[in-house]
Each structure stands twice: as C-alpha cells, then as structure tokens.
Amino acid sequence: MSDVKKIAVIAGDGIGPEVVAEAEKVLKKTEELFGYQFETDHGLFGGIAIDEKGTPLPQETLEMCRNSDAVLLGAVGGPKWDNNSKELRPETGLLGIRKELGLFSNIRPAVVFDCLKEASTLKPEVLDGTDLIVVRELTGGIYFGEKFRRETEFGEEAVDTCAYNVMEVERIVRQAFEIARTRSKKLASVDKANVLESSRLWRETVNRLATEYPDVELEHVLVDNCAMQLLRRPSSFDVIVTENMFGDILSDEAAMLTGSIGMLSSASLGEGSFGLYEPVHGSAPDIAGQGKANPIATILSVALMFKLSFGYQKAGDLIEKAVKDVLDAGHRTGDISSDQTSALSTSEMGDLIIAAMK
C-alpha cells in the first residue's frame, strides 16, 4: 500500500503526551498488520506552546495541521494557565484551531461496555443497550458570538450573544442525518425552541431538511428534557444533534454514562475527510507524569480517525475489538478499577491492547 497518510500529532499538556504515546504505538501496529504508511509530524499547542512560543496556537503548528490528512491531539490546559489573559489561555487555542481548520462538527460516541457497567453511577438495567453519538455544532453559537461588558445603574453587565445562521445549522444537521442513516435511522434534534429565537430557527431548518431524509425518524427534544432523559432512558437515543453550548454540556453528561470520561473518543470534522481526533477527557494535571492515565479514549480516537478520515474500516474495527477484549479480560486502569492495587499503568494498558490486535 503506497498511500501515505500524514498525521499531525499534538501531545499538548498534562497527561496528553502519555496517552498520545500509546496511540502512536497503535499506529505503528496497524502499519505492521495492514501495510499502512503514516508520516507523523509533532507540534506544540496549548499551555506548553504558551510557555515556549508565547501563544497557544503557533503558526507553524497550524500550518502543520493544514498540511496533514488528520490531527491527533492529546489534551490541553491546566491550573498553571488559568489566570492568564484570554489570548494566552490554552482553551483559546482550541477555539482558534477549530475555526482555522473549519472544524464545525464534533462527534462524540458514548458506548457502555457490559463489563464496565459497575463503573457507572447509574443502575445496570438503565444502561442496557446504550450506544449513542452526540453531534455537536462546534464553531457557532454563544461561544463565538459577540461578547462585551457595559455599565448599568445596577453595576457592570456582561453580554454573550448566541447567533446561528441557516448555513451553520444546515451543514451540521445534514451531517447528523447522514450518520443516523448508517446506524439505527433515529435522530434527536435538541434545542430550546420554546424560549430562544436561535433555537426556533434551528428547529425550522431541521424540519425542512427532514423531508430529504424520510428514512430517518426525527424527534425534537428540549435541552432540559434531553438532559433528564439521558439519565432516565439513555438507550432510547441513537444520534443526538445540537448547538455548541448544549452539545458541550450534554456530551459530557453522556460521557459519564460509560463510567469514565477516560473511555471516550471524539472527532472534530469539516466538509471533507480531514478531522481532528482527541479524547474527551482533559489534561488531568493532578496525575500527569505518573503513568496513571487511561489511554483508551485516545486509542479509540485513532479508530475513529481510521474510519472517518481514512476509510480504514477494518483496522478501526480491530482496534475497537482489541479494547473490548482487554476490558472483558478484566484489565483496568485506575479510573475504572475497583481495586487500585491491581490497576494498570498507561503503558501497560496500551501494550495489552496492541497485543490483542491480531
């Protein structure tokens, strides 16, 4: 196979370098098994880039990403930079890279492994059959709207503007319909149309597009009700599509259904096959450098990369099966282990998954 895929690797901060190292081992294993060829370049991003380059998103890192077929990102941020000005915060780099690379869609699968039901705070019978995807709009809404402060007779007032146009809604909703077609053909569109004008435009647009997808069952769910139903009947959802802030909150809630946020992968996509892949979890500075981090979310992000950006379905399935086999055999990192004395290190878990890839 002569098709070389260029991957921009950004380890980032905290546990990022540790989990990304295990994901890179998986890349090498798939090269051996399938004959793939990967060319990896490494760049600085987030807090470490602020320290070394004076900005969370250096221009050379951005260019590296633009010249790649996909980006693998570890995690960014930490208390060290919490009090920085806005332009010198790692999170500003995240918003910037999404905007600069045209990544308007965030895909977050939440699958409950049978062997990990005890790790969730919900009853096992509530979790039965839970396998959903949250599709979150990523570059619009209140996070990117106009922000300002002004003086009033009652003191300083802060304003954040939530704005969406038809194009922004159409492209994310169309993507969600297409994903739903590949699964159970069920789509839940989440909004707050009983209160917000932006949500009313969202719902009108969804209803118009739904006529193009008569094979997909569409359900409208108000965001507060969705938050409740995710805890009450999570298995009734298949694909959920929603705007930026609602998606940020609901995808983290969905993540905890699985028992650990350290288990979940994500993809940020644009119009073509290019995507940025990262674990849902943060940089966990409290355990950084200790070999305690769970690498599964980052490894599963590689599986997503293979499927969504490269079309390597068989390799993606093999990675997912290897993870399941290792978990079914009872192997655990500390975040999902009931017995901390037997918890595996980051590299031990990575090595077991690689050994199971055959």
Tokens of 322: 């290897």
Per DSSP, which regions of the chain are E strands? Answer: 4-12, 37-42, 70-75, 105-111, 131-137, 147-152, 155-160, 186-191, 217-222, 239-242, 265-269, 275-279
Q: Give, in degrees to the nearest 5, the angle at Cα 9 between 258 and 144.
A: 70
Query: What is the spatial distance between Cα 268 and Cα 24, in angstroms, rounded to a whole number?
Result: 19
List all residues 6 or more positions away from 294 whose beta carbon is below 8 Å from its beta carbon. Answer: 19, 260, 262, 263, 281, 333, 334, 335, 336, 346, 349
Q: Which positions are catalytic?
A: 143, 192, 224, 248, 252
Tokens of 241: 């599509």
Indicate the length of the chain as a whole number: 358
3-state class (DSSP) for residue 197: helix
- Reduced to 3 DSSP states, what percent helix, strand and coil does the chain have, rounded to the nearest 5? 50, 20, 30
Q: β-strand 186-191 against 155-160: which pairing, if any?
A: unpaired
Find out whether 49 and 57 touch, Cβ atoms under 8 Å.
Answer: yes
In the DSSP assignment, the letter for residue 308 is I
Find out whether 97 and 244 touch, Cβ atoms under 8 Å.
Answer: no
Find out whether 161 and 141 touch, Cβ atoms under 8 Å.
Answer: no
What angle, rounded to 10 degrees, do the helices at 313-328 and 346-356 form? 120
Which burial class, exposed, middle or buried, applies to 82 when counting CB atoms under 10 A from its CB (0-12, 13-18, 19+)? exposed
| Residue 219 amino acid letter | E
